[in-house]
């Protein structure tokens, strides 16, 4: 069974505290030997550890040589980035405060990497050179986690070294005094009616001062308001001044109170004055991530069970709605069964590490393996990638979250596989990010181009996690189990839970929820996976070739393919079915051929063997071409776009006059998430981009939003009906009887014509109908006309003047016309006639 947390009663602010020390990981780690190959030898680990030290020296010395005292290094230009002297990069520059950011962020890294001489020198430089009263507007969130956290972590390390009597004997808590000064400079941000902080503050003038150049903001992100408690509480407990912890606690209370009570989820952006949600999408990545992290870690650091109860409540909601193993997809906080987007951002890579602390190893292993497969495909995690593992945003600013989760999973499992993962991170950094003056961010993982940027978190976090991954406890200058990592990987001692200044008790009780095995106990791998030392490998193997990279070719009597498809990406399967290729699940084949139990299936991943039978498309499934005809001025029916039909939805061939409406673009354009412009779409025909989820899923969402029809536009650039055969859109394998609106498909060239018309004229009316019923189209009929030669006015029996064409032939210089009509020849002529139904 799980080993219980060690608890000690306390009279202050929370009920009990936890003495962690080595409890978390000693409970988790079980004996594991080579599961994906041989275990790494001590010599191999030592070699990689030395390589990591050399890489850190290259980055840190480049900063000190070329950039200090600037905030950050520009590694391509080999100079420092000084705010105001370089082109403004928008919000990203709010982390720069002319306070030697990279130096402060790196201080406790120097200690952990046993660079104690460099640490002492760096502390002296910090005390001598760094000013915190600059007239500059900075991000409250970034300044808290990087600078305040950096000063606190460095103070703790300096104090430890001083207590040992070997170094820092001159130190008199100067870094703590600086941290307290900075804390007071951040406090004006909390002067709001709700208690949620402003996103920015002027270090010299605060917020309300006319000279502050800030204070007009009304919104902040959830993580921005909810990632203060560790640093502010540590500052209160180290300095004895309770004001910091009180303000941070109040902000956490507000976020908890403002959660959506039905789903127990929070949104991404909140109004700091009235507490209303501005953005209601909910996930575990950018904008929310460290709020959840700090609930769990506040419990560990401060011993207040309220934080754990809140975390457990949120975590249950995350696993119910957001977790779709191995994916973590944003949902709408008020309607959490609806995904609001079909891509993930790289910041969620921290979440497997948090799940390790929670004791939920299986989904941690699954998501981490998915992320590892993405790095195999692109070298690094793109800043955002789709559910089909295509690049959404190609940047990679050397983020450390994937290395962080790799470290925690290795600590939890002891599986040498994660050492190999760490080794691949080291190798890719050297191969693809190293430059003569440090390490440069990757501007686009598809091209490998660099960006003139080396963020301070690269030194603060990346090298800590990589060094710890390849180090034994005996090789470290501190007992790492005595500390908790902040979100910036700064080290705060868990002993702070016993240093509790008086504070107001927390009156916010979470709602009742069902506790699970590990709500209050240390996770035990033996309990989770009894008598199975290869449990991690067993979980990973289902996702090993998720992106298609690295799949081995194997001979098989039945030719097989694996399709890495997801719940929202089944379109290729149905497309194959429509071509007459029958598909059998791999598990069924295994059961039939081996008589064994079928392999466990995993949500979102489908494996198939092709039991191939290709047949001709039946005649009754012939694709009937449709059209999108622009009928409003100035087009007036003259612009006609060829479109493909769908096998579901309204049958336009049975609509005598087609379907008319004005067009509106869906938001999001892919219609794969919550439809944000439902009011605009009501009663109109929606435009939606193909891709990221199924046609049927898009159609349902748009129909529910009130659209009376949908035009899907191909996402493949340059496609056209002139060069590509039309096809019928297919459903999702389930019943599509609920979809009743008409659906048509335009290739990208025709789609570009339509969207350009909308952009130029704003109000564009169109008609959806079969091509054969095109409005204003001339029909061709054949009339048999007999010609005979006769005298003028001469009629034969049965002829009347009203039914007879009379052609009068006159003699000309060339008798060509007369000669052509000599004798009793009969000619058949074709005359165009207007369609009577459409004639004016």
Residues in the chain: 840
Q: For residues 482 and 156, is the Cβ–Cβ distance under 8 A?
A: no
Mutual angle of helices 149-163 and 116-129, in 10-degree steps:
130
Q: How far are the Cα atoms of 199, 232, 275, 277, 327 from residue 222, in angstroms, in the given order?
A: 10, 17, 11, 10, 22
Active site residue 734: no
Is there a catalytic annotation at residue 613?
no
Say if residues 465 and 403 touch (Cβ distance below 8 Å): yes
Q: Are 348 and 283 in contact (CB under 8 A)?
A: yes
* CA separation for the pair 562, 557 (Å, rounded): 16
Angle at the Cα of 617 (from 612 to 619), degrees rounded to 5? 155
Q: What are the residues facing 206 on neighbouring strands?
A: 202
Strand partners, 327: 324
Is 801 assigned a catalytic role? no
Q: Which of 72, 245, 369, 383 is catalytic?
A: 383
Cα–Cα distance, 699 to 676 (Å, whole number) = 15
Identify the H or E element spanning 522: strand 521-522
Instruction: Tell me if 382 sits within 8 A of 395, measured CB to CB.
Output: yes
Residue 167 vs residues 116, 171, 476, 492: alpha-carbon distances, Å: 8, 9, 16, 20
Q: In this structure, are strands 331-332 and 327-328 parallel, antiparallel, or unpaired?
A: unpaired
Quote the tokens at residue 63.
């900063």
Question: Of residues 72, 120, 289, 455, which has the active-site annotation?
Answer: 289
CA separation for the pair 32, 19 (Å, rounded):
27
Q: Choosing from 72, 105, 369, 401, which is the catalytic residue?
A: 401
Please tell me the distance from the alpha carbon of residue 167 to that of residue 144, in angstroms, as a whole number. Answer: 28
Contact at 8 Å (CB) between 161 and 111?
yes
Is residue 289 part of the annotated active site? The answer reads: yes
Strands 331-332 and 281-282: antiparallel
Among 105, 142, 245, 732, the active-site one is: 142
Secondary structure of 87-152 as H, E, C letters = CCCHHHHHHCCCCCHHHHHHHHHHHHCCCHHHHHHHHHHHHHHCCCCCCCEEEHHHHHHHHHHHHH
Enumerate the active-site residues: 142, 289, 383, 401
């Amino acid at each position: 069974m799980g080993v219980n947390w060690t608890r000690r009663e306390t009279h202050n602010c929370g009920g009990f505290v936890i003495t962690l020390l080595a409890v978390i990981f000693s409970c988790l780690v079980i004996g594991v030997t080579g599961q994906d190959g041989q275990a790494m030898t001590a010599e191999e680990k030592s070699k990689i550890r030395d390589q990591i030290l050399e890489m850190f020296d290259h980055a840190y010395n480049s900063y000190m040589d070329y950039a200090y005292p600037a905030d950050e290094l520009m590694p391509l230009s080999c100079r420092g980035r000084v705010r105001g002297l370089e082109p403004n990069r928008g919000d990203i520059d709010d982390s720069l405060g002319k306070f030697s950011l990279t130096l402060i962020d790196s201080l406790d890294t120097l200690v952990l990497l046993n660079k104690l001489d460099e640490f002492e020198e760096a502390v002296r430089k910090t005390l001598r050179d760094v000013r915190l009263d600059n007239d500059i507007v900075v991000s409250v969130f970034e300044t808290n986690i990087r600078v305040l956290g950096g000063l606190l972590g460095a103070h703790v390390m300096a104090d430890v070294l001083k207590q040992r009597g070997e170094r820092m004997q001159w130190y008199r808590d100067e870094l703590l005094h600086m941290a307290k000064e900075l804390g007071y400079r951040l406090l004006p941000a909390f002067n709001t009616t709700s208690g949620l902080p402003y996103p920015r503050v002027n270090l010299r003038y605060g917020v309300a001062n006319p000279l502050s150049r800030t204070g007009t903001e009304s919104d902040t992100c959830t993580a921005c308001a909810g990632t203060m408690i560790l640093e502010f509480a540590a500052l209160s407990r180290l300095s004895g001044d309770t004001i910091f912890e009180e303000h941070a606690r109040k902000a956490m209370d507000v976020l908890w109170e403002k959660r959506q009570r039905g789903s127990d989820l929070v949104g991404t952006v909140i109004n700091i004055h009235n507490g209303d949600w501005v953005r209601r999408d909910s996930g575990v990545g950018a904008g929310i991530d460290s709020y959840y992290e700090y609930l769990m870690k506040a419990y560990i650091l401060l011993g207040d069970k309220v934080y754990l109860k809140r975390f457990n409540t949120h975590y249950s909601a995350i696993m119910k709605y957001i977790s779709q193993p191995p994916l973590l997809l944003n949902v709408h906080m008020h309607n959490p069964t609806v995904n609001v987007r079909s891509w993930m951002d790289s910041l969620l890579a921290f979440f497997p590490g948090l799940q390790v602390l929670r004791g939920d190893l299986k989904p941690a292993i699954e998501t981490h393996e998915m992320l590892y497969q993405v790095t195999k495909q692109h070298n690094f995690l793109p800043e955002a990638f789709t559910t089909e593992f295509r690049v959404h945003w190609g940047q990679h600013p050397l983020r450390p979250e994937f290395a962080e989760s790799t470290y925690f999973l290795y600590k939890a499992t002891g599986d040498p596989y994660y050492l190999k993962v760490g080794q691949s991170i080291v190798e890719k950094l050297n191969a693809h990010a190293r430059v003569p003056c440090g390490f440069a961010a990757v501007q686009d993982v598809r091209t490998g181009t660099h960006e003139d940027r080396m963020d301070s978190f690269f030194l603060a976090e990346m090298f800590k996690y990589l060094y710890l991954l390849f180090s034994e406890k005996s090789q470290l200058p501190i007992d790492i189990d005595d500390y908790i990592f902040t979100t910036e990987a700064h080290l705060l001692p868990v002993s702070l839970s016993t240093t509790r200044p008086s504070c107001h008790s927390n009156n916010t009780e979470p709602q009742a929820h069902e506790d699970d095995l590990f709500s209050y106990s240390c996770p035990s791998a033996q309990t989770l996976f009894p008598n199975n030392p290869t449990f991690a490998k067993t979980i990973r193997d289902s996702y090993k070739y998720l992106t298609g990279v690295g799949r081995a070719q194997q001979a098989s009597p039945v030719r097989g393919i694996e399709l890495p498809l997801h719940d929202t990406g089944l379109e290729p399967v149905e497309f194959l079915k429509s071509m007459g290729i029958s598909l059998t699940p791999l598990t069924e084949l295994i059961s039939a051929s081996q008589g064994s139990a079928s392999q466990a299936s995993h949500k979102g991943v489908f494996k198939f063997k092709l039991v191939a039978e290709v047949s001709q498309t039946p005649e009754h499934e012939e694709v009937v071409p449709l059209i999108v005809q622009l009928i409003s001025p100035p087009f007036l029916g003259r612009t006609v776009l060829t479109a493909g039909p769908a096998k579901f939805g309204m049958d336009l061939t049975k609509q005598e006059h087609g379907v008319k409406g004005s067009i509106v673009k869906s938001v999001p354009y892919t219609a794969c998430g919550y439809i944000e412009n439902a009011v605009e779409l009501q009663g109109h025909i929606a435009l939606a981009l193909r891709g990221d989820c199924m046609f049927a899923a898009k159609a349902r969402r748009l129909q529910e939003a009130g659209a009376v029809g949908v035009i899907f536009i191909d996402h493949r650039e340059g496609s056209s009906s002139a060069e590509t055969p039309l096809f019928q859109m297919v459903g999702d394998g389930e019943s599509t009887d609920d979809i009743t609106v008409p659906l048509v498909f335009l290739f990208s060239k025709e789609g570009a014509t339509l969207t350009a018309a909308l952009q130029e004229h704003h109000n564009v009316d169109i008609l959806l109908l079969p091509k054969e019923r095109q409005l204003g189209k001339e029909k061709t009929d054949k009339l048999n006309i007999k010609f005979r030669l006769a005298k003028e006015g001469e009629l034969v029996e049965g002829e009347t003047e009203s039914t007879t064409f009379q052609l009068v032939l006159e003699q000309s210089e060339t008798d060509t016309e007369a000669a052509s009509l000599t004798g009793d020849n009969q000619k058949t002529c074709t005359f165009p006639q207007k369609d009577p139904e459409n004639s004016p």
